[in-house]
Chains A and B, each alone.
Chain A
Amino acid sequence: MLTKSDISLVLSVIAVIVGCYFLYDLSRGVEKFVVVEIDGRIEKKIDLPKNLIFDVNGVNGPIKIEISGRKVRMLDSSCPNKICVKSGWINKRGESIICLPNRAIVKILGEEEELDGTTR
């Protein structure tokens, strides 16, 4: 039914699939900095890795943001539902935490990406 060439074809395709995932992981690059945007303005830009806790003023009130190594989270926020706090840590390039009542976006960007790269 299946010949030897069929099986080697399937195996080589699977090998290419696995290789692609590794390449994709490599091509994403290293997480370089954290950007905090309030109401569309860039409030803070912090290089990674770093360990610190700082406050930003959102539209609704203060937000506490924690950076630990290459991870970022919202430690506390002055919004009613705390969705941004519950979303926990982010640590990959392109990920973001958004707090709507405060109109705040915290995102991780890579090196070659322009600041407005994800909002073009």
Chain B
Amino acid sequence: MVQQDKKIGHNNSRIKTIIEISLMVSLGIILQIIEAPLPRPLPWAKLGLANVITLISLLLFSLKEAVFISIIRIALVSILLGTIFNPGFFLSLSGGLMSTFIMGLVLIIFPKRFSLIGVSLIGALVHNMTQLGVAYILFYNQLHISWNNVLYFLPLMLAWAIPTGFIVGYLTKLILPVILNTRKRVNW
């Protein structure tokens, strides 16, 4: 009897985690799809609203779950928008994974040193740098991209990461208490 109860309890917490992860994935998908048709100053200059969800899932769960959430989110959004397996998909996947990973590491290694805005800034920087690197590797054969062009893009992408990092960090700060409260109130 006691053992059965324990077993049910264990299963419950697993189900809880699964449900929370899938909620996070769906929130991320919604944010990313809302953002897709918004006008952009430059074709590559996105806001990266889904990073809010990545950051929140890093804070709610562990690094492993957050990476999992990013992979599922990016794969599903690419299927929904029809961009899966095109070059943009690989850019998005590599940038998303790398930024999640580095933000997680920063939160583990320096938990107090950076504020949420700082962590999201690091995420935005890593995201853009990874994309630039992967784009260089993917395209330099076809397009004869030289170091000159990379050097031209690097400051632009770094500069774009600052406002987006700030906005994402600020939104995360606003949204995190709401999610924590809801989690407490549902009380399952």
Residues of A at under 8 Å CB distance from B? 1-3, 5-6, 9-10, 13-14, 16-18, 20-21, 23-24, 27-28, 120
- Asked whether B110 lies within 8 Å of A10 as measured between CB atoms, the reply is no
DSSP class of B's interface residues: helix, strand, loop or mixed?
A: helix
Residue of B nearest to A17 (CB): B155
Q: What distance in Å separates the Cβ of B119 from its nearest Cβ neighbour in chain A?
A: 9
Residues of B at under 8 Å CB distance from A? 110, 113-115, 117-118, 121-122, 125, 144, 147-148, 151-152, 154-155, 158-159, 161-162
- Asked whether B144 lies within 8 Å of A21 as measured between CB atoms, the reply is no
Give bound CA distance, A120 to B152, whole Å.
20
Q: A13-B125, A20-B154 are in contact. Are A5 and B162 (CB under 8 A)?
A: no
The 3 A-B pairs with the shortest beta carbon distances in the complex, nearest first, are A6-B118, A20-B155, A17-B155
Residue of A nearest to B159 (CB): A17
- Residues of chain B contacted by A17 (CB below 8 angstroms): 155, 158-159
Residue of A nearest to B144 (CB): A120
- Asked whether B155 lies within 8 Å of A3 as measured between CB atoms, the reply is no
- Asked whether A3 lies within 8 Å of B118 as measured between CB atoms, the reply is yes
Q: What distance in Å separates the Cβ of A109 from its nearest Cβ neighbour in chain B?
A: 14
Residue of A nearest to B148 (CB): A27
Q: What distance in Å separates the Cβ of A40 from its nearest Cβ neighbour in chain B?
A: 21
Q: What distance in Å separates the Cβ of A9 from its nearest Cβ neighbour in chain B?
A: 6
Give bound CA distance, A17 to B155, whole Å.
5
- Residues of chain B contacted by A10 (CB below 8 angstroms): 121, 162
Residue of B nearest to A8 (CB): B118
* 27 A-B pairs in the complex with CB atoms less than 8 angstroms apart: A1-B117, A3-B113, A3-B114, A3-B115, A5-B113, A5-B114, A6-B117, A6-B121, A10-B162, A13-B121, A13-B158, A13-B161, A13-B162, A14-B162, A16-B155, A17-B155, A17-B158, A20-B151, A20-B154, A20-B155, A20-B158, A24-B151, A24-B152, A27-B147, A27-B148, A27-B151, A120-B144
- Residues of chain A contacted by B152 (CB below 8 angstroms): 24
- Residues of chain B contacted by A1 (CB below 8 angstroms): 115, 117
Q: What distance in Å separates the Cβ of A34 from its nearest Cβ neighbour in chain B?
A: 20
- Asked whether A2 lies within 8 Å of B144 as measured between CB atoms, the reply is no
- Asked whether A28 lies within 8 Å of B118 as measured between CB atoms, the reply is no
Give bound CA distance, A20 to B118, whole Å.
22
Give bound CA distance, A98 to B55, whole Å.
51
- Asked whether A23 lies within 8 Å of B117 as measured between CB atoms, the reply is no
- Asked whether A6 lies within 8 Å of B114 as measured between CB atoms, the reply is yes
Give bound CA distance, A10 to B158, whole Å.
10
- Residues of chain A contacted by B114 (CB below 8 angstroms): 3, 5-6, 9
Q: Chain B CB within 10 Å — which of A1, A9, A21, A23 has the most?
A: A9
Q: A3-B114, A24-B151 are in contact. Are A9 and B158 (CB under 8 A)?
A: no
- Residues of chain A contacted by B113 (CB below 8 angstroms): 3, 5
Give bound CA distance, A3 to B114, whole Å.
6
Of A9, A16, A20, A27, which one neighbours B121 at CB under 8 angstroms? A9
